Amino acid sequence: MGTRLWFDEEYAAGHGDTTEGEPVTRLGIAIEKTLFRGKSEYQEVMVVESKGWGRVLTLDGCFMVTERDEYVYHEMLAHPAMSAHGSAKNVLIIGGGDGGTVREVLKHDPDHVDLVEIDKMVIDASREFLPSVAGKLSDPRVSINTVDGLKWVADRKNTYDVILVDSCDPVGPGIGLFRAPFYKDCAAALKKGGIFVNQSESPHQHPDIIKGIYAELRKAYKHQGMYLAHMPTYPTGCWSFAFNSNDITVKEGCERAAKGTKPIETKYYNRELHAAAFVLPNAFRKQVEA
């Protein structure tokens, strides 16, 4: 058997405010070649060709997108909020420069989508090397803004129906996207009936971080709920998202989604799965509770 080249991501213990610390878990993917490697002002951006997982986008050595399983994350970030709202016309996506969340949001026919991604290199690399993910970034309904999401949302009051945060982990500059001031600005930027969803890490790998996220979310929103998705190339294969609103409960959102009639083409998400995703194991419920 010949020598294989592997790309490994190591996961730290994940307790406290950050994911920094001693690595305790590792995931590796066999790769064939590097397609792109660059250092932006914010992070190292890489795209590699893998064996079995297609092309893979990594940021600072962490798996962000693989062509094989990206649909799980992007569908589950976008469709629960869009389906629960039912008629979202103006949508804000913070992060998500790979374009996958934009692709899924557009399936609901909004009038306008603002993509706010601070790192232009992520957008450019995704467009060139991951067209199946980034192909909808050129849609005329999409406005791409390479600015800081924290500053962007602070200036938009009563503007959006749905806000989705497709962010990195809560480390370094990204920590602000997991704090109450940002959550409150997003709440103010939502219209009546608006919904805010952010990715909220792995319940197995990052329990203390998730407790902190929900403590901050409760300062900005009346209603919260964790929901889950099976994401093979993210830490432990189980990933969570936080559904938040000041007007719509999780139950009401599930009922709206169940009554939806507009067909959307998906590989993972469906109306039955929507409600089931909010059913949590007991240990995970404790991470959400006050």
Work out whether strand 90-95 and strand 62-66 pair parallel, antiparallel, or are unpaired. Answer: unpaired
Angle formed at CA 196 by CA 127 and CA 88, multiple of 5 degrees? 75
- Residue 242's Cβ-count burial label (10 Å; 0-12, 13-18, 19+) is buried
Burial category of 218 from C-beta neighbours within 10 Å (exposed 0-12, middle 13-18, buried 19 and up): middle
Please give the C-alpha separations between residue 248 and each of 50, 106, 244, in angstroms, as whole numbers. 42, 22, 8
The yes-or-no answer on residue 166 being catalytic is yes
Among 119, 166, 169, 185, the active-site one is: 166
DSSP-derived letter for residue 144 is E
The sign of the CA dihedral 269, 270, 271, 276 is negative
- Please report where in the chains the tokens 């099976």 appear, as a residue: 230
Q: Enumerate the active-site residues.
A: 166
